[in-house]
């Protein structure tokens, strides 16, 4: 019932619920006592006053803004950054395609062929998606690191 009291004080009850609540309030002395206590706290909380900063507050902000360069309207990502980004994506895709090619090529090689690529080819055969996932993950990580550097240098500090 306490929840109902707070819902009533917050005007969250429907008309019907409110009527039922008020009827219950009239015939339940202990509920009435709880209600008065909640209402007093509610009014006390509402009566809290807005705090005011010092008189020099606005001036201090203006002083800080003097040291900040004007808002930039240049594109967030430069052409150079875009090129690097696409180069990374291309590298990731190229790596994936290359490993896919080698893993297919292995099928036509003699069974006794051993070279340094064998462990990698074995992984690719046992888990065909492994290198694709690895390449995408690597490209994603590098992109995020790059983006972080660009944003950090742009804003001057981390926000």
Q: Which residues bind another protein (CB under 8 A)?
A: 2-3, 6, 36-54, 57-58, 60-62, 64-65, 68, 70-73, 155, 159
Q: Which is nearer to another protein, 117 or 150 (CB)?
A: 150
Considering only the C-alpha atoms of the chain, give the largest distance between any 2 of them, rounded to a whole number of Å.
94
Q: Which is nearer to another protein, 15 or 46 (CB)?
A: 46
Nearest distance, CB of residue 82 and another protein, angstroms? 20
Nearest distance, CB of residue 139 and another protein, angstroms? 26
Q: Which is nearer to another protein, 59 or 149 (CB)?
A: 59
Distance CA 96, CA 93 (A): 5
> 82-99 burial, b for 16+ CB within 10 Å, e for fewer?
eebbeebbeebeebbeeb
Nearest distance, CB of residue 79 and another protein, angstroms? 20
Structure tokens at 15: 């008309």
**Residue 49 and residue 16 in contact, taking contact as beta carbons nearer than 8 Å:** no
């Amino acid at each position: 019932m306490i929840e109902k009291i707070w819902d009533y004080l917050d005007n969250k009850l429907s008309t019907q619920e409110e009527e039922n609540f008020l009827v219950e309030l009239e015939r339940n002395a202990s509920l009435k006592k709880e209600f008065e206590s909640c209402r007093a706290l509610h009014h006390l909380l509402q009566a809290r006053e807005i705090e005011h900063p010092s008189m020099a507050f606005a001036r201090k902000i203006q002083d800080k803004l003097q040291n900040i360069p004007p808002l930039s309207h240049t594109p967030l990502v430069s052409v150079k950054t875009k090129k690097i980004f696409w180069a990374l994506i291309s590298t990731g895709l190229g790596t994936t395609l290359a490993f896919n090619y080698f893993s297919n090529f292995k099928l036509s090689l003699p069974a006794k062929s051993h070279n340094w690529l064998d462990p990698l080819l074995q992984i690719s055969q046992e888990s065909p998606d492994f290198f694709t996932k690895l390449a995408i993950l690597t490209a994603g990580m590098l992109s995020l690191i790059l983006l972080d550097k660009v944003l950090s240098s742009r804003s001057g500090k981390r926000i």
